[in-house]
Amino acid sequence: MYRKLLFIIISLNTIVAKAAAQQIQYTKYDSTKVVSLLKQAKTRKANTNYVLFFARQLVNIPYVAKTLENNQSEKLVINLRELDCTTYVENVLALTLCAKKKQITFKDFCHYLQTIRYEQGSIHYTNRHHYFTEWIISNTKLGLVKDRQTTKAPFTGIQKINVSYMSEHPQYYPMLVKNPTWKTAIARMEKDLNGLTYRYIPKKTIANTSLFKNSIKDGDIIAIITNKRGLDTSHIGIAVWHRDGLHMLNASQIRKKVVEEPMLLRTYMSKHPIQIGIRVIEIK
């Protein structure tokens, strides 16, 4: 009887493990790269800024959009060969969380990436954080990040969320085209976000002063907010101060790869009229 029960338990665990594995998509290169980076991080000094360390380790990886949109059903896609601005930040955050907890396995990394990317860690297209405001809310609740919100300068702008782009333009999202019934859940999620307000730093005020250096730290996530109808943000990256002022590490569509942008953030944003300011998110 005991052996039979043990066999059933082992069989069930095997089935669950196989089902979980089927929801993860990666190559040997990806898993090897993750473990290599985590082993490198383990040798760093205790005061290492892991966000900047990992962000710089991923420089020059090609920019490729919509790498999460290529499957019939949702999978936890791990792709360190091609990155967009969101997957870049997500991978850096997952690596950072592993390093801070001295964890160096690919399984640990997958756990954090899944937690970061999906509501309650549940792998489904409609649970993925498609709008960055939703991403911030979810990861703030988990204690992984903190949205810097204060009525004091330089956070003088107020953004009122009014998102609708996905439900109004499903043709731009390959998995929504394949699964049109998911649009209802997406519209419901948009409705839940709409009306929320957040403080931000207007782009024209960004300066190389102590006020801004105290408000934006190396390794903070920068969410560039937009006035484009139906969207909350248009780009995200990672803050890094140079001698001449604030710059951004990001997966750049313009430069077609991950870069530590040589232009000042203020100069970069001045070239994009739809970009109106930045929200600042601290990685805990």
How many Cβ atoms sit within 10 Å of the Cβ of residue 267?
15
Instruction: Give the DSSP letter of residue 61.
Output: P
Q: Which of 107, 104, 130, 128 is nearest to 118 (CA)?
A: 128
Mean pLDDT value across the chain: 93
Distance CA 104, CA 41 (A): 9
Question: Which region, left, alpha or beta, applies to residue 95 given φ > 0 means left and ψ of -120 to 50 means alpha?
Answer: alpha
Please give the helix or strand (H or E) that residue 178 lies within, else none. Answer: helix 174-178
Residues 1-33 have pLDDT tens digits of 555 544 434 433 333 344 455 699 999 999 999
At residue 101, φ and ψ (nearest 5 deg) are -100, 10
- Asked if 237 and 223 count as a contact pair (C-beta separation under 8 A), the reply is no
pLDDT score at 6: 45
> Domains plus CATH for the chain?
24-143 (1.10.3670.10), 146-283 (2.30.260.10)
- Closest by CA to 230, choosing from 191, 277, 175, is 191
Query: What is the pTM assigned to this prediction?
Result: 0.91
277 pLDDT more than 90: yes
Residues 189-199: what's their mean pLDDT?
Answer: 98
C-alpha dihedral, 176 to 177 to 180 to 186, nearest 10°: 20
